[in-house]
Amino acid sequence: MRNLQYILVTLFLFLMVTHENKAQYGGGYGGGYGRGYGGGGFRNDAGSSSSSKKDEMDPEKMSTEETNWMKKKLKLTEEQIPKVETININYAFKKFDLYEEAKKLTPPFTEDVRLKFKEKLNAIKEGKSKEFKAVLTEEQYEIYLKKRQD
């Protein structure tokens, strides 16, 4: 029973940490990256899953896919691309580190622990947005913020 509780809480923290990044580009689990950032991603033509849990938490893959989305949707300039790539990889690893920190905890998780991780995740999101604001044009940044809220 204790093992099941540990698995459920770990899954909860995993979902909490990765939700923001997945939600930006096409929905939560099972949506987004694999099929052009819309709707039912992570599906091949037969409808079966084409991504493993390990792939979902690969910071390099996540940052590459996010950068590709930004190149296409925000029409990044050649000067912006390396800056955006750097921001995306840095923050993908920050989120991954937070996920790894959450995995090391043992249940039961108190509300304080949950709030601590939520605050850390929000700080990561705000830092990333602040860096993007310095790199993107006002129009690009507005599109980015709108997509992030979706």
Predicted model pTM: 0.65
On whether the CB atoms of residues 39 and 31 are closer than 8 A, the answer is: yes
Neighbours of 26 (CB within 10 A): 23
Buried b (16+ CB within 10 A) or exposed e, 62-81: bbbbbbbbbeeebebeeebe
Look up residue 70 and give its two tokens.
Answer: 């930004």
Q: Tens digit of pLDDT for each residue in 7-48?
A: 545 545 554 544 444 444 443 333 333 323 333 333 233 344
Q: Tens digit of pLDDT for each residue in 132-146?
A: 999 999 999 999 999
Phi, psi of 31 (to 5 degrees): -130, 145
